[in-house]
Chains A and B, each alone.
Chain A
Amino acid sequence: MGCTVRIASPLRSYTAGAATLAARGSTLAEVLAHLEQRCPGIRFRMIDEQNRIRPHLRLFVNTSEALELSASVRDGDTVHIICALSGG
């Protein structure tokens, strides 16, 4: 049992094109660490070296925005990675 991660299109070069992946973890940090194991390089494109979520990128657990990587994730949850595209 684990969660489902919905991958924004700019990150699908790391997931062989997959739009959703299954992952494990009880926090967002653990889920992203698991994702990184499966898709090397994907985490740093989302999270900077100070463990901050990069600007223009939003993480949701189900319908609630997660502002910290310590946010809880439960079995059956869906983690949404959303790129806030803007500009020309």
Chain B
Amino acid sequence: MAATLWIGTRKGLFALRAGAARGAWKLSGPQFLGHTIHHVVQDLRDPRALLMAAKTGHLGPTVYRSDDRGRSWREASEPPAFRKAAEGEEARAVQRVFWLTAGHATQAATWYAGSSPAGLFRSTDGGDHWQPVAGFNDHPMRPKWAALGTPDGEFLHSILVDPRDPAHLYIAISIGGVFESTDAGSSWTPLNQGCAADFLPDAEVPFGHDPHCVVQHPRLPDRLYQQNHCGIYRLDRPGRRWQRIGASMPKKIGDVGFPIVLHPRDPDTAWVLPMDGQTVWPRTSIDGKPAVYVTRDGGATWRRKDQGLPRSQAWFTVLRQAMCTDARTQPGVYFGTTAGEVWAGRNAGERWHCIARHLPEIYSVSYAH
């Protein structure tokens, strides 16, 4: 099956396309040159359809939809926006649409969006009109859940829809933590037990954590993985306490990073890209030697995968949406760097090749078939 990698960058949208053998990748674009593209997601319910979260540095955020695999795009008639604030209320405005997630397979036109400041939005018409999810956005605890923010403001990401139940949702907030809803977003509860929050005085706080990326295995939806600001975690529901599987990473590497991606069929296999979280948090590949680590046993052990990656003086930073896998039996693993390079790891990351360079700062890398 042919593959497309959608590359969202700070300066526009690019595509890398390859045939079934993934032997050669051809770069096309840019589309939307000068626009900031945070996320591009294919609709697996209708693979011709894509949604894209975009803005420019000076214009407001919006969402675009394509119904022809990215050849043409149409802007949402009503982009994600908070409700008008009442007198005396905090008047929030969406600064960035940061994350997009397609809804449940039985809800063909439903999409979710996460924003900065932290907001959750839903569309029931394929991304044309968006409504705030009041159960989260107006939750009396929301100002406390999302109190700390990041230098770019706090944002909501990793919106997960349980493939067995459209009402069962997870979201993550940087900084705020992981939250769960079992009633389609009407109510939410924190789900952070066991996660470290080294930047807070109380290690056992119920929220205030910094999940960088949370993923759910499509074939084993009770299995969640999390790459957190402080480590790598796994949670098997209905359990509520995350287990730090990053503890089995080599000590000199640690378990800090942004993305975590899963094997499309094997719930025990996941890839991470560790970054330097020491002292002032450079968030670059450790010692300038980039490497991907893979676990094939649910995090009990990890193996380094750096064949083909630079051996020294390569200071990669890879953001949370900038890593993905494809759907092959031995999946390809892909990541994009903030320095504008895209790397492909064939055969589950056994050997890496740079398939694009000189692109703008990469925010997201998404696979589409």
> Contact residues of A with B, CB < 8 Å?
10-11, 40-41, 44-52, 54-57, 83-87
Q: List 27 A-B contacts (CB under 8 A).
A: A10-B56, A40-B77, A41-B62, A44-B60, A44-B62, A44-B81, A45-B59, A45-B62, A46-B60, A47-B60, A48-B60, A48-B94, A49-B82, A49-B84, A49-B93, A50-B82, A50-B84, A50-B85, A51-B84, A52-B93, A54-B59, A55-B58, A56-B57, A56-B58, A57-B58, A83-B59, A85-B58
Beta-carbon contact of A46 and B93 below 8 Å: no
Please tell me the number of chain B residues within 8 Å of chain A, measured between CB atoms.
20
Report how far A11 CA is from B34 CA in the complex, Å.
12
- B26 on the interface (CB 8 Å rule)? no
Known: A10-B56, A41-B77, A56-B57. Contact between A49 and B94, CB under 8 A? yes
Beta-carbon contact of B84 and A87 below 8 Å: no
Interface centre among A11, A48, A52 (most CB of B within 10 A): A48
Beta-carbon contact of A49 and B83 below 8 Å: yes
Report how far A51 CA is from B82 CA in the complex, Å.
12
Interface centre among B57, B75, B81, B82 (most CB of A within 10 A): B57
> Contact residues of B with A, CB < 8 Å?
34, 56-60, 62, 75-77, 79, 81-85, 91-94
Known: A41-B77, A44-B79. Contact between A50 and B60, CB under 8 A? no
Known: A50-B84, A50-B91. Contact between A83 and B79, CB under 8 A? no
Residues of A within 8 A of B77 (CB): 40-41
Beta-carbon contact of B81 and A49 below 8 Å: yes
Report how far A86 CA is from B76 CA in the complex, Å.
27
Q: Which 10 A-B pairs have the closest CB atoms?
A: A48-B93, A49-B81, A56-B58, A45-B59, A50-B91, A83-B58, A45-B60, A41-B75, A44-B60, A50-B93
Beta-carbon contact of A87 and B93 below 8 Å: no
Residues of A within 8 A of B79 (CB): 44
Report how far A51 CA is from B57 CA in the complex, Å.
19
Residues of B within 8 A of A44 (CB): 60, 62, 79, 81
Residues of B within 8 A of A51 (CB): 84
Q: Which residue of B lies closest to A11 (CB)?
A: B59
